[in-house]
Chain A
Amino acid sequence: MPSTAQILDWLTIAKPYIIMGLVVAVWPLVSGYIVLMERKVMADMQVRLGPMRVGPHGLLQPIADALKLLIKEDIIPARVDKWVFWFAPVIPVLTALTAFAVLPFSQRYFVAELNVGVIFILAMTSIGVLGIMLGGWASNSSYPLLGALRSTAQLVSYEVAMGFAVVAAVMVAGSLDMVNIVKHQQASGVWFIFYQPIGFFIYLVAAMAETNRAPFDMPEAESELVAGFMTEYSGFRWALYFLAEYSNIFVVCSIATTLFFGGWLRPFPNVAWLNFLDWAPAVMLVGVGAGCLYLAGKQLSAANKIGMGVLGAAIIAVGLAFGVPMVIDYVSGPFWFLFKVAVMIYMFMWARFTFPRYRYDQLMQLGWKWMIPLGMANLLVTGVLILVKMQYWSAK
């Protein structure tokens, strides 16, 4: 019979593997629901309802979509480079999921505390581009080729701007470790967005370009290049590209949350009288559950009524469980982290449905003539200020 200490030991060793398994197992489903959220947000902004047929309020739509994509015929066009065509969609998924390893969901939940975490993530997202390039090239077709060309140029130019923005934040934090960066924000009591507003802006724009999101969705510009680099892809391979895209969005939003919005910290982590904010997860979940129960009454079919009701009850139960003081400590970190990431993702969607698309050369101009000089200036000012602070403030 192992002792309690031994079990705790095993748990500590097993924790990264458990989290890893959870991410790999659950993430595809979650990304499906992010797609549903996107469709619902889009519908809301465009005076319509969005998916409503599959399940109550279209809640089973992602599962139906995933099943459809899985059982579709596997088409490999005749003249493609078979092996590259086969392997290309795997690369971005692989790199995006690897980047999850260093995301600190809270001070407890992360796979690896890497002392170069930020650089690791940047490296992983850069390698992901390879999948897009290879996919476009291997398709042996004009539109995918153009998409791949655009993608290469775009990612090269925006990576630089993104790098400058990230470096500025890292300088303020004094660490490249994702966990430490958040801990520094906790210590200073201020989110780094207030030190680095310009840095955040550059990061946001570069991140949108980096993840191929509108208004920078050049590589897959639907109205110009049909579907860009994935024109020839269908079925599950296509779904992999989609999974990679949403994983990348999650990753860049997580970096933004970690670098600029205090990661897993609740707003004003050091202000004691705001401690009631720790109840936010419970309150919010119970609220969402109550909303589901209210909507359950409005459903037309009995199945939808029961489905919505069960869902509402389950969410309320989880919410109530989160209200137990002992549990709060464990869930408030991941809650705030995911909440901030969700808000960031919402901003990405908002931008997508509001702005027209940049043209490819204008995108380059924006990147090289505005974003990179601005990033350098920001870096310079940050460096000088830090130096001044070190020279004079610490001398006092």
Chain B
Amino acid sequence: MTEAETVYRPHPEDHTFLDSNEIVINMGPQHPSTHGVLRVVLRLDGEKIIGSECVIGYLHRGVEKIAENRTYVQFNPYVDRMDYAAAVSNSLGYCEAIEKIMSVVAPPRAQYVRVILTELNRIASHLLWLGTHALDIGALTPLFYCFREREEILKIFENYCGARLTTHSFRIGGLQYETYDGFEKQVNVFCDDFLHKVDEYETLLTGNRIWLQRTKGIGVISAEDCIQYGVTGPVLRGSGVKWDIRKAMPYCCYPDFEFDIPTGQNGDTFDRYIVRMEEMRQAVRIIKQAVAKIPDGPIMAKIPKVIKPPVGEIYHSIEAPKGELGYLVVSDNSTQPYRVRVRPPSFVNLSALDIMIRGHLVADVVAVIGTIDIVLGEVDR
């Protein structure tokens, strides 16, 4: 209790004559629904939340500092360990940032394979989100259905590069491996199958009265607040802002594909749920186009054996499953980066937690943490 009080700074407006009834509880760092080692200090009036503060850092590994002591190539696997649920996206962002500072462009075939794997990873990440989010709200079963499909994606990753979770699948300048025999077929089979599976999840949840009651009007965040807090990704789109870096600041070969950006209207948990469900369908659409149009050719650009980017500073961002994932890389023309700064979507989105849960009940906290879709490896780095 005393430790929690020292951490919590009371909000001046929150004082009422019922102050004696307030309790401060510590949610986490060991709690089933904080998705890792997030600690939320909640101040409650009964069960109503009148204040909260996130305490992070339990998973801090100093990834950005490590970058300064590794070569550009050596640092590549480390980025996979930030958002371990979407390792491929992290890798894509890092590789493209270094390619940009070196003024190298990956060959078309490499770009297409990158898009296929990244979008598959987006689906895997959203499946993990859906399963755990539903579990937090009390629906036990969707988790296992989600993991069943996620397993198929991880099998594709395993066939491609031997790893399932932290894949280290891309290299600066392209790819290390050519795709395996039957890659396109396996991806296509998965895509055809998966659309039915998404419908199946929706029959379990979307029309369910309890699900609607638990998600509609919960954790509302307005578009203005989203922009103020720098919130990106499905949370921003759920509030009605049509901002997707794949369209707004295209990278890789995304301009070659047709896809829609789903948006919500109310900015509540239900809208974010719908947005992510639709994003999974759109990801399938992108993958199918990419598999159909995949060109032949080299998979690696011509890059020097020892990577020494010219002196300069570059910011490159991509649309990771959780939002804008940016890399600021400063080069001093040595083999090691002078500084790598990561802009992680989870960390920035988490900052909006307080305004999203204020006035709600304890049960809604877990729903909102779930709907923000954080990965603590990325929050703490």
B32→A222 contact, CB < 8 A: yes
A214-B138, A360-B361, A361-B361 are contacts. A355–B208 as well, Cβ < 8 Å? yes
A359 and B361 in contact, given A223-B33, A223-B366, A224-B33 (Cβ under 8 angstroms): yes
Query: Complex: how many Å from CA A355 to CA B205?
Result: 8
Assuming the A-B contacts A214-B138, A223-B136, are A359 and B144 also in contact, with contact meaning beta carbons closer than 8 angstroms in the complex? no
- Give CA–CA (A146, B26) in the complex, Å: 13
Q: Interface size (A, Cβ < 8 Å)?
A: 31
**B366 and A215 form a contact (CB under 8 A):** no
Chain A positions within 8 Å of B136 at CB level: 223
**CB-based contact B214/A359 at 8 Å:** yes
Residues of A within 8 A of B205 (CB): 356
A77 smallest CB distance to B (angstroms)? 15
* With contact pairs A223-B32, A360-B47 given, residues A46 and B140 touching in the complex (Cβ less than 8 Å): yes
User: How many chain B residues have a CB neighbour from A under 8 Å?
Assistant: 34
Closest to B369 in A: A223
Q: Of all chain B residues, which has the CB nearest A361?
A: B361
Residues 42-64 of chain B, each 1 if its beta carbon lies under 8 Å from chain A, else 0: 00001100000000000000000
Cβ contact within 8 Å between A45 and B214? no
Asked if A359 meets B25 with Cβ closer than 8 Å, knowing A46-B140, A226-B31, A226-B32, the reply is no
Expressed in whole angstroms, the minimum distance between the Cβ of B152 and any Cβ of chain A is: 13
Choose one: A47, A143, A215; the contact of B148 (CB below 8 Å).
A47
Q: Contact between B363 and A359 (Cβ–Cβ < 8 Å)?
A: yes
Cβ-neighbour of B210 out of A142, A146, A225, A358 (below 8 A): A358
Interface of A is mostly: helix
Proximity string of chain B (184-211) to chain A, C-beta cutoff 8 Å, 1 when within and 0 when not:
0000000000000000000011001011
Q: Is A184 an interface residue (CB 8 A)?
A: no
Contact B144–A356 (Cβ < 8 Å): no
A221 → chain B, closest Cβ, in Å? 7
Q: Chain A nearest CB: distance from B141 CB in Å?
A: 5
A362 within 8 A of B: yes
B363 touches A224 (CB 8 A): yes
Residue of B nearest to A145 (CB): B23
Question: Could you tell me the distance between the alpha carbons of A358 and B210 in the complex, rounded to whole angstroms?
Answer: 6
Q: How far is the CB of B36 from chain A (nearest CB, A)?
A: 14
Whether A120 is near chain B, meaning CB under 8 Å from some CB there, is: no
- On chain A, the residues within 8 Å of B143 by CB distance are 46
- Is the CB–CB distance between B213 and A46 below 8 Å? no
**Residue on B nearest A358 in the bound complex, by CB:** B210
A369 at the interface (CB under 8 A from B): no
Among B26, B362, B364, B366, which residue has the most Cβ atoms of chain A within 10 A?
A: B362
Within 8 Å of chain B (Cβ to Cβ): is A288? no
Report whether B135 and A223 are in contact in the complex, using a CB–CB cutoff of 8 Å. Answer: yes
Query: How many Å lie between the Cα of A359 and that of B138 in the bound state?
Result: 10
A47 in contact with B145 given A355-B139, A357-B137 (CB within 8 Å): yes
Residues in B123-167 with C-beta less than 8 Å from chain A: 134-141, 143-145, 148
A48 within 8 A of B: yes
Complex contact A143–B25 (CB within 8 A): yes
Q: How far is A225 from B365 in the complex, measured between Cα atoms in Å?
A: 11
Cross-interface CB contact of A355 among B24, B138, B363, cutoff 8 Å: B138
Does A275 reach chain B (CB closer than 8 Å)? Answer: no
Residue of B nearest to A45 (CB): B141
Chain B residues near A222 (CB-CB < 8 A):
32
Contacts of B362 in A (CB 8 A): 146, 224-225
Residues of chain B within 8 A (CB-CB) of A360 are: 47, 361, 363
Q: From B364, which residue of chain A is reached at the shortest CB distance?
A: A359
Cβ of A317 within 8 Å of any chain B Cβ, yes or no, is no
Is A59 interfacial (CB-CB < 8 Å)?
no
| CA–CA, A214 and B23, complex, Å | 26
**Cβ contacts A to B, 18 pairs, < 8 Å:** A45-B141, A146-B25, A146-B362, A223-B138, A224-B362, A224-B366, A352-B140, A354-B141, A354-B204, A356-B205, A356-B208, A358-B210, A358-B213, A358-B214, A359-B361, A359-B363, A360-B47, A362-B214
Q: Which residues of A contact B (CB under 8 A)?
A: 42, 45-48, 142-143, 145-146, 149-150, 214-215, 217, 221-226, 352-362
Q: A223-B136, A357-B139 are in contact. List 8 more A-B contacts (CB 8 A).
A: A46-B144, A146-B47, A215-B210, A223-B135, A226-B32, A354-B139, A355-B138, A358-B214
